[in-house]
Structures are given as structure tokens and as C-alpha cells.
Copies of this chain bind each other. A is one copy, B any other.
């Protein structure tokens, strides 16, 4: 019994890597960073090249659901799947799998992110269709990203033997998943070749991931069985409220992918993928002016600055820069951040510092 192809957007994340603009209450996917649309809206629009709105699911938290629904009115309310509490990506994907077990057990699901940038949408479409072909054959598929620099903020996938062409791309067996590397190891992998970044995009039959849960995460599988059985019924909320809190938080990578016997990866290139994981990364996805500056502020005057990013929400506030280089300035009203571009990964230290000092209001 062949089912339909569904998109599952993972949109529950908090994320403070674009702090102080992204906050606990307003995570990255809700920001109109790249265009007038938010990253989430862009993701939903992009997916409609392949999926009709009724086959786009969103896994998110109760706190974020209302705002996301508002941003994507074309999605039906019942397609927003709400995690009572965050329990890691394995549980989030499991919730979507449970929903599809109930609605369309033959379904193929593509697990996708809400807060990444994809510059070449038609290429993205081709990858999704190629992955669908492989998933139809029963494979666990992931889209890897061909590395362009020795990134330390991503996990890596070591490519095994080529499995032949699909949709114009070469699929590979996954040799192994590797955690985020140190700088030296990242440089070595880049030099050596044969690695892809782990993008967090997965494509598989619901029945196949269900079996993997059963094998590698049996407790989660049992819980998901109960949730799937109750889906759409009168007891659903009660079952979810009872079962969900008992789930041990785990990532899909550690819980399933690293343990699964066979995983297929399609290394993607030319897709213009970017995780928008730091302020600095915006220089890769947005067009800079003739001085190399990114000015995302209504009122800004500059004299001789180079390669800076200015983001200001204050409409009446005048931001003036004189002769500065390679810095990021983000002004949210309650917080003013001035950060060296090469240190923009270090914002997590700021978050830690704020927590330490009990300054929760700025998180």
C-alpha cells in the first residue's frame, strides 16, 4: 500500500545563536531575517513546490504554535503537532510518525528544518524527489551537505560506497555519523574528502522509521504506539499528557541514525544551504553593499566602515558607525550587542553568563 509524501517541519527549537534578536519567546524561525517573510514562512512556501499544504506537518511547542499558525494560514490547524514538552528530535519525529501511522500508514515522510536558508529552491526540490525515490524502496535517507569550509558546528557523515544514481544525484551508503569535530579534525575531513555535513533532513517511510524505533528505542516506540492508537480519538489529549513527560529526551542521530544498519545519504551541493547559525552566516546569504556592509536598520549613517552588520529595530534610533570593521551590531531596544564577526559563535558564552547572573529577562 503506497502512501503519500509528507513534509514534517521541525519548528520547536529555541535557539539563541542569533541572540539578542532570537529569544526564548521568539526563536530564529520566527524572524524575518532574510526577507519580509520569516524563516518558517519561507520554509513552508518552499515546500509547497513538492507538497500541498494538507501534507505539510509542523512539529512545535504549545507556546509557538499560535504564532506559527498565524504565519502560515494555509496550513490546517490539525497539521500542527504539539509537543507538551521538548523531548529531543527523536520524540519530535516520533510524534509526526505516530500521526502518519494513524492518518496514512503507507506514508513517506521528509523531516525538514524550519530555520535554515536554501538559496536554490529548484535544486532542493530535485533532492527531495530523489530522496523520495530511495525512501520508496525502503531506505532510510538523509540529505548531507557537501562541506565548503572546516565547520565545527555541524555533525559529519562519512560517505561509504556509491549506490548509483538517483534523480541525477549519486547516493552513498553512510559509513558513519560523526559528532561535531574539533577544528583540526574538521580541517582534516575537509582535506581528505568523502564527508558531508549532517543537515538534519531525513526521508523515509513511516513504517521504516517505526521499525527502527522498535529496534533501537523500544521504550519510545511503545509510547508512540499508544499515542498513535489514540490519535484523533477522545482520549488523545489525556494519553499524550500522560505518556509524553515520561519520554527520555534523545536526538534522532544518537537514538536511531548512528545505530541503524543501513542509511543512505545523498550529498547535496549547489543547493545554497545555510543553517543561519550565527550572525556572521548572514553575510553568506544576504547581499552586502559596496563596502561589504549588511545594513538591516532603518536609520543608519556610516563613514568608512567595512564588512559590518547592523541590525536595529528602533525606528527613531539613529545608528552611526565610523571606521569600524568586521563587527556585528544588534540593537533590540533592551539589549545592544557588539560582537566581533569571528567571535559570533561565542554568543553561547553570553547566554551562559546571563543565566549565571540571573539576568533571565534578556534570554
Residues of B within 8 A of A321 (CB): 337-339
Query: Is A261 among interface residues, defined by CB-CB distance under 8 A?
Result: no
Query: Is A335 among interface residues, defined by CB-CB distance under 8 A?
Result: yes
A301 touches B338 (CB 8 A): no
In the docked arrangement, what's the CA distance between A337 and B329, Å?
Answer: 11
A319 touches B339 (CB 8 A): no
Interface size class of A (residues with CB under 8 A): 35 or more
Contacts known (A350-B303, A354-B301); A339 close to B324, Cβ less than 8 A: yes
A217-225, A287-295, A310-318: which lies at the interface: A310-318
Residues of B within 8 A of A340 (CB): 322-325
A322 touches B304 (CB 8 A): no
Q: Report copies per complex.
A: 2
A36-44, A196-204, A341-349: which lies at the interface: A341-349
Residues of B within 8 A of A329 (CB): 336, 338
Which chain B residue shows the least CB distance to A338? B321
A336 touches B319 (CB 8 A): yes
Residues of B within 8 A of A362 (CB): 318
Query: Is A359 among interface residues, defined by CB-CB distance under 8 A?
Result: yes
Query: Is A320 among interface residues, defined by CB-CB distance under 8 A?
Result: yes
Query: Is A255 among interface residues, defined by CB-CB distance under 8 A?
Result: no
Query: Is A2 among interface residues, defined by CB-CB distance under 8 A?
Result: no
Question: Which A residues fall within an 8 A CB radius of B?
Answer: 20, 301, 303-304, 312, 316-325, 327, 329, 331, 333-340, 342-344, 346-347, 349-350, 353-354, 357, 359, 362
CB-based closest 7 A-B pairs:
A323-B343, A323-B340, A322-B339, A319-B336, A320-B337, A318-B335, A321-B338
